Amino acid sequence: MELLKRKNFYQTLTIFIWLSFLFIIEATGKLHIYINKKFFPFTILGSFILLVLFIVKLKKIKKEHFEKIDIISLLSFLLFLFPVLLATIVRPGNLPVLAAGKRGISQEFTGGDVMAILKEQLEMEGNYKKMNIKQLLTFSKNKPEEIDGKEVSVEGFVFKQDNGKEGFMLVRFLITCCAADATPLGVDVVYQDAGQLKQDEWVKVYGKCSVEENKLTILAEEVKATQPPRDVYLY
């Protein structure tokens, strides 16, 4: 019980809880729900620093003089604990469609590199060129002639603003650092059976691109339900 009154016990516990949280989230492969793959090395580095801090703290915990826990330190401990508990209890999946609506779906993308996409060997699915929404929007903005009239296959989730009987918007989130900056990118899809599709459902669209004044629409020939890919975000 004496231990529970020590301030440095709560400080050590805070470091341990965050160290374990980072380790579990890295080991279970859940990190990609939250941050861009490019930032994974920083999270691993963060875990390593926390591990060193934890070892150093453990080493000197007995040497430090007794200091009783105060309200500020206890609240601080609870504050550190809150997000860990929340993520553990809620166990979130991918960003839901609600986030796309709140953030506003962008149908233009200026940050893409046309030359880089042209150099890529894009896979074919039968007659359809396999592309993602970021690549399509990059072409429609900078080199529309590359995709106008071409047949493509593209996946994303369904976003319907109204009843969406004649069409829907196919959306993917683009993230740069983490899910907080996720920007929904979308393309209009014309599809007669759109009424049968559910909001937030992952689908693969096969169809022909039509670009008018840099605005892309896909005239769908077929829409198939699909499982979300492992990397739900575009980077």
Partner 1 sequence: MQKKKESPVTKIVLVCGILFLLIILNLWNSGNLGLIPQLLKNPKLQVFTIVITAILLEAIPFILIGAIISGSIEVLVSEEKIKRAFPQNRFLSAATGSFLGILFPVCSCGNVVVARRLLKKGVPASGGISYMLASPIINPITILSTFIAFSYSLRIVMGRILLTFLSAVVASLILSTKNYVPLKEGEEDHHIHHSHLSKVEQVFHHAESDFLLMGRYLVLGALAAAIFQTFISRQAFLSLAGNKVLSVFLMQLLGILLSLCSFADAFVASSFVHLPSFSKIAFMVAGPMTNITVSILYAGTFKKSFVLKLILTLFITIFILGVIGTYITGGK
**Chain residues in the site for partner 1 (CB under 8 A):** 11, 14-15, 18, 22, 25, 31, 33-35, 39, 42-43, 45-46, 49-50, 52-53, 56-57, 60, 63-64, 67-71, 74-76, 79-80, 82-83, 86-87, 89-93, 95-99, 101-104, 106, 108-111, 113, 142, 174-181, 183
Q: Cβ of residue 74: shortest distance to partner 1, in angstroms?
A: 5
Instruction: Return d(Cα 198, Cα 86) in angstroms, integer.
Output: 29
Which residue, 35 or 136, is less far from partner 1 as judged by CB?
Answer: 35
Q: Cβ of residue 170: shortest distance to partner 1, in angstroms?
A: 17
Which residue, 25 or 194, is less far from partner 1 as judged by CB?
Answer: 25
Which residue, 71 or 126, is less far from partner 1 as judged by CB?
Answer: 71
Q: Cβ of residue 37: shortest distance to partner 1, in angstroms?
A: 12
Which residue, 39 or 190, is less far from partner 1 as judged by CB?
Answer: 39
Which residue, 129 or 146, is less far from partner 1 as judged by CB?
Answer: 146
Which residue, 20 or 176, is less far from partner 1 as judged by CB?
Answer: 176
Q: Cβ of residue 223: shortest distance to partner 1, in angstroms?
A: 23
Which residue, 48 or 225, is less far from partner 1 as judged by CB?
Answer: 48
Q: Cβ of residue 125: shortest distance to partner 1, in angstroms?
A: 29
Instruction: Return d(Cα 143, Cα 11) in angstroms, integer.
Output: 56
In angstroms, the Cα distances linking 151 to 126, 143, 188, 217 are: 10, 16, 15, 12
Q: Cβ of residue 143: shortest distance to partner 1, in angstroms?
A: 12
SS (H, E, C) the chain: CCHHHEHHHHHHHHHHHHHHHHHHHHHCCCHHHHECHHHHHHHHHHHHHHHHHHHHHHHHCCCCCCCECCHHHHHHHHHHHHHHHHHHHHCCCCCCHHHHHHHCCECCCCCCCHHHHHHCCCCEECCEEECCHHHHHHHHHHCHHHCCCCEEEEEEEEECCCCCCCEEEEEEEECCCEHHHCEEEEEEEECCCHHHCCCCCEEEEEEEEEEECCEEEEEEEEEEECCCCCCCCEC
